[in-house]
Structure 1
Amino acid sequence: MTTLLIHAGETGAQAPGPRTGGVPLVPPGFVWPTCRACGGALLFLLHLPLDEDGGDGDRAEGGARGRGDVVSVFLCQNDPGMCDEWDATGGANRAYLFAAEGLAAPAVPAHGETRLGAVSALRTEEVDAAGFPEALDAWADDDAASLLVQGQLGGEPAWIQGDETPHCPGCAERMTFTAQLEEGYDFSTSANFGGGGIGYVFTCARCRDAAFLWQC
């Protein structure tokens, strides 16, 4: 089975369910991340709640995530393509793994490209298929339907350019694939992944860390 992420229309900027855009929900004391290259505030991209197994039922060695964990992803869109925002370790994107309890919306920086043009809910749907390409073909019977498919939760990544699974900076182990994400449903909901690219989210349960990269 493959779990697809499906565009489910507009939602609130602080909605607790899976979504792209809006504002993040973060723990007390959170500092909005900035780009290592340009110094500008990063754009908030993804709020993704996870179940206790990280979304795909595959518990990482060293202990499962707590129920209600949330992945939060940011990337630089101040000058797309100039800050290496595709690189998991380049400093132009940032992903976090938060425990869901006590999260709240922070103040959004006044300057920089910090928010998508629209907030889009995502829902999950399981498809009896071995991987993302097969699940996409099975679920979408025309081009319009395929546009609704915004990614995949758990399973195996559908790499465009080959395996770039990052290693956790804390324990040096390969991180666990958690989700992949299309650029967006339309222009207002889209980040820039190089034009038709895919974003990939990884987590480390042991070190409570996350990483993001994209390929095109």
Structure 2
Amino acid sequence: MTNIPPEIQPYKRTAWKPITTDGDGALTASKFAGKPWLGKHEKWPKCPCCQEPLQFFLQLNLNQLPEALQNEFGSGILQMFYCTNIDTLCDVDYEGWEAFSDVHFLRIIQPEGEAQDVEIPKTQDFFPPKLIVDWQQLEDYPNSEEASEFGIELNDELYEDNFPIEGDKLAGWPLWIQGIEYPNCPICGETMRLVFQVDSEDNLPFMFGDAGCGYITQCKDHKNIVAFAWACG
């Protein structure tokens, strides 16, 4: 492992890389793409711009996360949908890179009552499903910009090449592409924290802009407030 400068070691966080297998799983399972949990009378979310079904990106069963994260992000199922319609300019017109944009739909639901064995819409190419079967625990550290906010100056290029961890991951430190961009909770105004990093072309065959990276964040005090944003170079 890279030699971690001693001054940054107190800011270590644990991150978990998803271990996946091709194929779908239970409606309540943690997964990329596939079939989400939808209530018996729910309709598949649509884009307010093009009216096409949103692409189902990710579902996390918060009750089945690694033991160290039990109750950290609340309970239930976190879901993320996003408009990937290439025939329209939804992502541009609705600023899909911004938190709380209307072209993505995020929520935490409690899977109570009867679910429907939903049919995946056939109006566009939907991503192949990947089931999350386990998590790889890793050490993660902030980048130099976040470290500077703690009064720490990092100049070790080898360190910068390894942290924060790239790719899809649960918790840890965000791999900021342009700068620190935590959104604020619309209820209390507090800075939201990283739940899950969705990187370009890792477990999903999708690129955010020019090899960008996306971030699902949550208000620590209002756990039903979740958002997604991305940035590219």
The one-letter code of the counterpart of 2:79 is S
Flag the 1:178–1:54 CA change in 2: closer, same or farther, 3 A. Answer: farther
Flag the 1:8–1:99 CA change in 2: closer, same or farther, 3 A. Answer: same
1:166 pairs with one of 176, 183, 204: 183
Alignment correspondent of 1:49: 61
How far did 1:156 drift?
2.3
Flag the 1:136–1:120 CA change in 2: closer, same or farther, 3 A. Answer: farther
1:73 pairs with one of 64, 71, 80: 80
How far did 1:214 drift?
1.6
The question of 1:184 aligning with 2:201 is answered yes
How far did 1:128 drift?
3.2
1:200 pairs with one of 215, 218, 232: 215
Give aligned-pair identity as a percent: 24
Structure 1: segments with no counterpart, 5+ residues: 139-145
Q: How large is the Cα RMSD of the aligned pairs?
A: 3.7
Alignment correspondent of 1:142: none
Task: Provide the secondary structure at the position in 1 that maps to 2:46.
Answer: coil
The one-letter code of the counterpart of 1:45 is F
- Pairs within 5 Å for 1:62-141: 65-66=74-75, 69-79=76-86, 82-84=89-91, 85-102=96-113, 104-105=115-116, 107-108=118-119, 110=121, 112-113=123-124, 115-116=126-127, 118-122=128-132, 123-131=134-142, 137=162
CA contact (8 A) 2:17 2:138 kept: no
Flag the 1:95–1:137 CA change in 2: closer, same or farther, 3 A. Answer: same
Alignment correspondent of 2:47: 35
TM-score by length of 2: 0.68
The one-letter code of the counterpart of 1:190 is P
How far did 1:136 drift?
9.0
Distance 1:191 1:105 in 2: 27
Larger-Rg structure? 2
Flag the 1:70–1:9 CA change in 2: closer, same or farther, 3 A. Answer: same
Distance 1:103 1:202 in 2: 28
